[in-house]
Structure 1
Amino acid sequence: MIELCELLKNWPCTAKGGDFRALVSGVTDHSAEVTPGSVFVARKGRSSSGLDHIQEALRNGAVAVVTDISRPPALPKGVSAVSVPDAADFLAYSCSAFYGHPSRELTVFAVTGTNGKTTTTRFIGQLLKSCGIRAAVIGTLGVWIAGRKAPLQIPPMTTLPPAHLHRVLRYCADEGVTHVAMEASSLGLSGRRLDHCSIDYGIFLNIGTDHHAEHGGEEAYLRAKGRLSDLAGQIIVNSEDPAVLSITGDRLPVKTFGEQSGGETHLRIVDNGKGDWIITAGETHAGIRAPVEGRHNRLNAAAAFASLMAAGFGLADLCKYAARLSLPEGRMQEAGGAGIRVFVDYAHTPDALEAVLSALSSVCTGRLISVFGCGGDRDREKRPQMGRVAGEYSDSVWVTSDNPRSEEPARIISDVMEGLKNSSAMVRAEPDREQAIRGAIYEADPGDIVLIAGKGHEEIQISKSSSRPFSDFRTALRFLDEREAEAGAADGDDRVQTTDRFWYDGSGME
């Protein structure tokens, strides 16, 4: 608890009415989260304004309402009206102040990039744990402390809003955590969620195509990512990604990483073709058995190594524990049966899909079968690009629904199909994701690999009419078990042939 006057004293504002000695029970910009004693920050959001929710906040017991408009609305007696220059900026500051600025007590790594944020933060957390450091990982998969899921109720967001972020950081500090690795999404950065969070190291992985529509274009997306360069004390940069170099501007990275040779502050990591990684940092060389597959995961590991070396950890210690690295849920997560391998991955951008398919194609002894879709209401331009990538690497492609949201699945599939026109792969369109997964698994022969891409760890599928429980991994396991049971009961080859609802013939949907 903190008095309202203490919360406001270091911030430019004007305030009138109410009780400035009132005890504040929380700070939020969501009127539904207001409890008696809360400060409600009526900021402008992407789709609505907090001004429209002041009455609900008052009914729920707000003791103060903060706005950044020139003529704030009249408030009941006993409620303080506070005017600030920027409500979003004040929200970030006041949430940090309410919890006693917990980020200042922690060493914070913030990771941004179109792809790889979840894996890189998990790698950082795993290496810290192996080094005897009590660390937390915050991001798409929730909050993990020392490798275990923390019992916290938080919204399912890649980068938490300030009211939840600083509550979580306070919890971490109180639990003895000293280091935190968190994901910094473009939407989180542009929405000011990480403002007034003390970030020691900002890590830049890569820049691809994602969220352009939600930001209003590619330039705005790049600006959002680039904000981390201003927020972090030091930056660690993928020196081989031109877009990353463009958004970090004149900032000199404390460390760089990549596959090419570099200077004293560069960490190089390559695969020797025999299942080993060769790591070079300055004059130090090390070799380790590759703990995970794929060039993209090797670069994610390089980012983790470079970041921890910037924080004072030695390469020898990191390499000693590298064998313990493992991928998060929904990232190259494998299921298998009847001689086939099935992988579930979150890849939902062209770059990510290409990275995963490239990794799988290098170890596939049979055919590579892919199942994927694209989300609705966003980034329509990436759909044919993902179709092209799938067609280049796959022998068979099942195009299906991801989270269609308010769009018609057939329209999304048609956009994807544009990129598959010149593919030599067998292409099928099946809007029902469950049936597409079934079809791919039943199509596969021993030695084949099936990739189910796009949703990864997600547990729901969002469409115009509903949000239904759906897990790619559990669905795959069910059909693998079903197929094995049928094979065991049959005398011969009893493989089911699926009937496709749509076929692609180069002219569109039929």
Structure 2
Amino acid sequence: MKLTKLLERVEYECINGSVDVEVADLVNDSRKAKEGSLFFCIKGAVSDGHKYAADVIAKGAKVLVVQNEVEAPRDVTVIKVADSRYAMAMISAAYFDYPAEKMKVIGITGTKGKTTTTYMIRSILESAGHKVGLIGTIEAIIGEEHIPAANTTPESYTVQSYFDRMVKAGCDCVVMEVSSQGLMLHRTAGIPFEIGIFTNIEPDHIGPAEHASFEDYIHCKGLLFQQCKLGIVNMDDKHLEQVLKGHTCRIETFGFSEKADLRAENTKLVSRPGYLGIDYTAEAKDFHLDVEIDIPGKFSVYNSLTAIAVCRHFGVSKEDILKALAQAKVKGRIEMIKVSDDFTLMIDYAHNAMSLESLLTTLKEYHPKRLVCLFGCGGNRARSRRFEMGEVSGRLADLTIITSDNPRFEKPLDIIADIRTGIEKTDGKYIEIPDRKEAIAWAIHHGQKGDVIVLAGKGHEDYQEIEGKKYPMDERVLIREILAEDAAKGK
């Protein structure tokens, strides 16, 4: 493709060579550069792509997109831009002939609820006859293909390549999670969002390699509403006004507030052995729908209410909405696994203090006989998370089973000791079983009538990372193995 075509929506200065050249492919990893490549020199948190200019030129790269000066021979084109990440997003869109403009793109941002809401929206729209692509924390879905995710919002080139494949697969819509990092790093630049959604915001992702402050986190979330036609937002969130500062889109609201355009009323908890859910009435002007969700908690109302708000703009029937909500399951997000008629067992991705507190507080509202929480913490991550999660579980759960998660390059017993330190700040009861399968088996074998048992931290993950290697470990598989072993023993 001609470089002039790729640069048609980019402000740039050609400081070396000519723009009248052909580009074979786009790369931002120097190891992938080859003859005719365009290489983006990206300044990252860990490395600076400008340092690899000579390497990619030696491999045959003919175009460099830079924001700092580099040395290059006369036959290599150097394009100077203000921000090479932003340029990468715009050039990638042009390279794939702007696929986002051929679909309706729905973007979801917020601290919690993004993943579940994306699956709910996809389920509802597909039940109404749309073909819907998905990009999110767990995976990207293109037709029948499921691609495991490395980031909530991938790099811009990957996003555009997914869009291109979605268009070719016949998708007319795509729903995607839009992280604050994705917005800050221009991974979604140039995407004409049909609808932007704000679920909620709490302090998170604040640190040296992420956001400098909560205010910066809020600002980055709010960028989505300067890039969409319609914003559908949670009216109950106390930071909503800050999130919407500078917005350029139309706004609709949802929530429990009487002032919300779409609101939840008459909320009731639903509980029976092996099942926790919630039902409510969704009300708006000229709209009334009685809804039951088989996912517990107030946040399930928010997630489903958001999905309903979006799908009303696609003319989806009430029947299709209800049918799809009943079928919308998200792997590892309060995923109930039937193992007994006496107690409820579930898997959830809660892997920090905030998400664990939200989960356990929600489950306590169902007044279980005992709330049992099994979890571990990842190695080579902030130690403070271990103390905090231990303290949360000790305070809210009737029994904590401390086990291993992804120890990485640390010793599991050292991580467990840190979690214990947090629990011992409370009066909570706990036991330690380092082997995760043994811990899950203990929880199942000691489950009592009326218990709610939650396996926290792994969620959708199907591996355990130990000393740089990922070993297969899916909690659903472990549970099946435990039940099969029990059956063979005649238990």
Q: TM-score range by the shorter chain?
A: 0.7 to 0.9
Distance 2:316 2:61 in 1: 50
- Match of residue 330, structure 2, among 328, 331, 336: 328
Tell me which residue corresponds to 1:267: 263
Partner of 2:64: 65
Residue in 2 aligned with 1:7?
Answer: 6
Aligned to 2:89: 92
Aligned-pair distance for 1:230?
Answer: 2.4
Q: Distance in 2 between matches of 1:57 and 1:72?
A: 12
Flag the 1:66–1:379 CA change in 2: closer, same or farther, 3 A.
Answer: same
Residues 401, 431 of structure 1: 8 Å contact kept = yes
Q: In the alignment, which of 348, 365, 371 is matched to residue 351 of structure 2?
A: 348
SS where residue 306 of structure 2 aligns? Answer: helix
State the shift of 1:89 in Å. Answer: 1.1
In the alignment, does 2:136 pair up with 1:139?
Answer: yes
Q: 1:239 to 1:308 in 2, by over 3 A?
A: same
Structure 1 CA distance for aligned equivalents of residues 406 and 240 of structure 2: 29
Structure 1, unaligned runs of 5 or more: 489-510
Partner of 2:45: 46
Give the distance between the partners of 2:57 and 2:179, measured in 1 at CA: 32
Distance 1:37 1:166 in 2: 20
SS of aligned partner of 2:458: coil
The reply to whether residue 229 of structure 1 matches residue 225 of structure 2 is yes
Q: 1:323 to 1:84 in 2, by over 3 A?
A: closer
3-state DSSP of counterpart to 1:207: coil
Aligned to 2:145: 149
**Higher mean Cα deviation, 48-57 or 155-164?**
48-57
Structure 1 position 283, deviation (Å): 4.5
Residue 145 of structure 1, CA deviation: 4.3
Q: Which amino acid aligns with 2:370?
A: R
8 Å CA contact 1:211–1:378 kept in 2: the answer is no
Distance in 2, matches of 1:302 and 1:84, equals 42
Matched, 1:112 2:115: no
Q: What is the aligned partner in structure 2 of residue 502 from structure 1?
A: none
Contact 2:140 2:149 in 1 (8 A): no
TM-score norm. by structure 1 comes to 0.85
The yes-or-no answer on 1:444 pairing with 2:436 is: no
1:387–1:418 Cα contact (<8 Å) kept:
yes
Counterpart position of 2:339: 337
Q: Can you list the C-alpha shifts for 1:296-342, whole angstroms capped at 9, x where unaligned?
A: 22211111112233x34367355443453322111222333354442
After TM superposition, give the deviation of residue 372 of structure 1 in Å: 1.6
- CA 244–325 in structure 1, closer or farther in 2 if over 3 Å, else same: farther
Which position in structure 2 is the counterpart of 1:503? none
Partner amino acid for 1:248? Answer: L
Matches within 5 A, 1:180-259: 180-213=174-207, 214-219=209-214, 220-249=216-245, 251=247, 254-259=251-256
Q: Pick one of 134, 158, 165 that aligns with 2:159.
A: 165
**Helix, strand or coil: the match of 1:236?**
strand
- CA shift at 1:189, angstroms? 1.9
Q: Please tell me the residue identity of whatever aligns with 2:51.
A: D
Structure 1 residues 244 and 387: alpha-carbon distance in aligned structure 2, compared to 1, 3 A threshold = farther
Name the structure 2 match of 1:498.
Answer: none
Deviations 1:143-201 (A, max 9, x none): 2246x435x6x752211111111011111122221111001122222221111111121
> How far has the Cα of 1:363 moved from its partner?
4.9
Select the residue among 72, 76, 79 that pairs with 1:79: 76
Structure 1 CA distance for aligned equivalents of residues 7 and 22 of structure 2: 12
The letter for the 2-side match of 1:29 is N
1-structure distance, mates of 2:443, 2:197: 37
Corresponding residue SS for 1:229 = helix
Cα gap change, 1:260 to 1:189, in 2 (>3 Å): same
Amino acid at match of 1:372: F
Gaps of at least 5 residues in structure 2 are 271-277
Map 1:411-426 to 2 at 5 A.
412-426=415-429
Q: Retained in 2: the 8 A contact 1:364–1:449?
A: no
| Partners of 2:295 and 2:334 within 8 A in 1 | no
Q: Distance in 2 between matches of 1:359 and 1:9?
A: 51
1:474 alignment partner, SS class: helix
Quick one: distance in 2 between partners of 1:117 and 1:225? 12
Return the offset for 1:132: 1.2
Identity of aligned residues (%): 28
8 Å Cα contact 1:256-1:266 kept in structure 2: yes
Determine if contact 1:127/1:322 at 8 Å carries over to the other structure.
Answer: yes
SS at structure 2 position matched to 1:23: coil
Contact kept in structure 2, 1:286 and 1:319, CA below 8 Å: no
Q: CA deviation at 1:18?
A: 5.1
Q: What TM-score comes out, normalization by structure 2 length?
A: 0.88
Alpha-carbon contact 2:198-2:233 (below 8 Å) kept: yes
Q: d(CA) in 1 for partners of 2:399 and 2:205?
A: 28
SS at match of 2:484: helix
How many residues align structurally?
480
Asked whether the equivalents of residues 142 and 162 of structure 2 are also in contact (C-alpha less than 8 Å), the reply is no
Query: Counterparts of 2:222 and 2:420 in 1: how far apart (Å)?
Result: 33
Q: Relative to structure 1, is the Cα distance of residues 405 and 387 closer, same or farther in structure 2, using a 3 angstrom cutoff?
A: same
- Residue 24 (structure 2) pairs with residue 25 (structure 1): yes
Instruction: Provide the C-alpha distance between the structure 1 equivalents of 2:458 and 2:22, rounded to a whole number of angstroms.
Output: 43
Residues of 1 paired with 2:338 and 2:59: CA distance? 51
Work out the CA distance in 1 between the residues paired with 2:394 and 2:303.
Answer: 26
The DSSP-based 3-state class of the residue aligned with 1:212 is coil
2:118 is the alignment partner of 1:126: no
Q: CA RMSD in A?
A: 2.8
1:279 has 2:282 as partner: yes
